[in-house]
Structure 1
Amino acid sequence: MKRVNKKVALVTGGASGLGRSSAILLAREGARVVISDLDDAEGHKVVKQIQEEGGEAIFFKQDVASEASWKDIMNAITSTYGKLHIVANSAGIGVGGNVEEVSLEDWKRLMSINLDGVFLGTKYGIQAMRKHGEGGSIINFSSIEGIIGDPNLPAYNASKGGVTLFSKSAALHCAKAGYRIRVNTIHPGYIWTPMVENYLKAQGSVEEGRKFLDSLHPVGHVGEPDDIGYGVVYLASDESKFVTGSALVIDGGYTAQ
């Protein structure tokens, strides 16, 4: 039996990186996957890959910072599948620079995606799941940077720390209301994704940057997207039915130091 068979899953930021891996692995485990992103071309490539592997997926263009866009995609999911069981709020961006260097404009843009987007995805995810009464799982992407501080990532730290505690609040609300909807966070260490690679390019050297990032993890290397995708499948499945308000850390030992 596939682990999330016939469940309907929405994965934001599903065109690349951790969202892409999550979408593909959920589909392999039987989910009907709705991929959302601003990148049409890459989003449709992920859909094509899933379909070629025998899975089911569709793509919608979505701006996770827009409440109107959330209403639109939830209406589309309801009209297409009638139900929603899983939301993986993966979409996010990074902004570097210390607290003196980060502009208010960049701060607000990052918060609108990393924190507002998760709030909206959780809010509308709960509303959609309540309608069918079958329960569900919401997986909000935090980070090791939602647990520890980094002098050069103040905006990212703030957004991911916010995701962590916001998700605990939402988890308690759903549990006490008897919705059978679980809300958890997932906390990746450094994972080799286009976002990380582009960040290193901006710093001047991908090769040296990769070696430095590898050295930060006790296991000796950064992670791969599937390391996180498998965690998403676990939190989405009934295997984690007793898990809510929790933080799943997948970081190669980074935060154990």
Structure 2
Amino acid sequence: MTTANKRVAIITGGASGIGRETSLQFARKGDRVVVADFNEAGGQETVRLIHELGGEAVFIQVDVSNQQSVNALVQQAVDTYGRLDVMFNNAGIGGAGPVLEQNMDLYHKTIAVNQHGVAYGIMAAGRKMKELGIRGVIINTASVFGFLASPGTFAYHATKGAVIMMSKSAALELAPYGIRVVAVAPGAVDTPIIQGYKNAGMLDSMRAKVMGGELTKPETVAKSVYLVSLDEAEAITGSVVMVDQGYASFK
């Protein structure tokens, strides 16, 4: 495959956790990666790690809660590499807090990042793929907590439920252009968001409800995201792919 025909993947939240590991996974497989994050230092570190692997990547700073910033991200990626094949809308924050004790600033920030950020990514990538005539794939990070309730994460549940339905709706509308839209639903993944629940006593409970008794590694989720992105997965669209070690079933 020539450089011009190599796939190009934008990965938001690429400075850490699932986003970093997915960036590395795509780079290992020969794709060109646009690492996107608000955290410039972390994003540049991901790019450095990709370059160490011999991969090709650039960092673009983005605020996914701002539609103009997301639009600019997609345009800059295409200006840099000439195409867009994969959009992984992965950036997210925890948004913990009981329903009757919501910090409204945090509530609105959680909605803006986790829900609006995904919506902006779907719109910007979908328009660009349609314009370029690319049969691409848009992958969105949902969660088992888009299906299952637990105390203290009211806003987070709301956003992840929204991601699931936005993915299904967008898949229906973008199908005529050959653009797939898929949600992945991780369970208890060992990321900074999950580690933030240490003081809430949730980690031991999470470990008890997954196959093997350990939190899912971010690189495990990254491998599933990559598989969903392949042409061999062409029949998977409008679906929610559970990447949870059975968490939703065992709960």
Question: What TM-score comes out, normalization by structure 1 length?
Answer: 0.92
8 Å contact kept, 1:37–1:60: yes
Q: Please give the alpha-carbon distance, in whole angstroms, between the structure 1 residues aligned to 2:184 and 2:174.
A: 18
Q: What's 2:180 paired with?
A: 182
Question: Given residue 11 of structure 1, which amino acid in structure 2 is its aligned partner?
Answer: I
Q: Please give the alpha-carbon distance, in whole angstroms, between the structure 1 residues aligned to 2:247 and 2:125.
A: 31
2:195 is the counterpart of 1:197: yes
Alignment CA distance shift 1:209-1:98 (3 Å): closer
Q: Give the C-alpha shift of residue 209 in structure 1.
A: 5.1
Q: Please list the CA deviations of residues 127-146 of structure 1 after superposition, one character each: whole Å capped at 9, or x if unmatched.
A: 11112212100000000001
Q: Give the C-alpha shift of residue 71 in structure 1.
A: 2.0
Q: Please list the CA deviations of residues 44-89 of structure 1 after superposition, one character each: whole Å capped at 9, or x if unmatched.
A: 1110111110111000110000011112212211211121010001
Alignment RMSD: 1.5
Alignment partner of 1:229 out of 218, 222, 226: 222
Q: What's 1:213 paired with?
A: 206
The list of structure 1 runs, each at least 4 consecutive aligned residues, that deviate by more than 6 angstroms after superposition, is none
Q: Please give the alpha-carbon distance, in whole angstroms, between the structure 1 residues aligned to 2:179 and 2:106.
A: 33
Q: Secondary structure at the match of 1:216?
A: coil
Q: Please give the alpha-carbon distance, in whole angstroms, between the structure 1 residues aligned to 2:211 and 2:46.
A: 32
Q: Please give the alpha-carbon distance, in whole angstroms, between the structure 2 residues aligned to 1:19 and 1:211.
A: 24
Q: Secondary structure at the match of 2:36?
A: strand
2:243 is the counterpart of 1:250: yes
Q: What's 1:61 paired with?
A: 61
Q: What's 2:97 paired with?
A: 97
Q: Please give the alpha-carbon distance, in whole angstroms, between the structure 2 residues aligned to 1:105 and 1:134.
A: 39
Q: What's 1:75 paired with?
A: 75
Q: Please list the CA deviations of residues 168-194 of structure 1 after superposition, one character each: whole Å capped at 9, or x if unmatched.
A: 00000011xx21100000000111112
Q: Please give the alpha-carbon distance, in whole angstroms, between the structure 1 residues aligned to 2:249 and 2:71.
A: 40
Q: Secondary structure at the match of 1:135?
A: coil
Q: Secondary structure at the match of 2:121?
A: helix
Q: What's 1:143 paired with?
A: 143
Q: Which runs of 5+ in 2 are unaligned?
A: none
Q: Identity of counterpart residues, as a percentage? A: 37
Q: What's 2:41 paired with?
A: 41
Q: What's 1:110 paired with?
A: 110
Q: Please list the CA deviations of residues 201-250 of structure 1 after superposition, one character each: whole Å capped at 9, or x if unmatched.
A: xx27xxx7543321122431110001110111011111211110000001
Question: Given residue 37 of structure 1, which amino acid in structure 2 is its aligned partner?
Answer: D
Number of residue equivalences: 247
Q: Please give the alpha-carbon distance, in whole angstroms, between the structure 1 residues aligned to 2:192 and 2:29.
A: 25
Question: What TM-score comes out, normalization by structure 2 length?
Answer: 0.94
8 Å contact kept, 1:219–1:253: no
Q: Which runs of 5+ in 1 are unaligned?
A: none
Q: Give the C-alpha shift of residue 157 in structure 1.
A: 0.4
Question: Given residue 219 of structure 1, which amino acid in structure 2 is its aligned partner?
Answer: G
Q: What's 2:155 paired with?
A: 155
8 Å contact kept, 2:197–2:203: no
Q: Please give the alpha-carbon distance, in whole angstroms, between the structure 1 residues aligned to 2:62 and 2:74.
A: 11
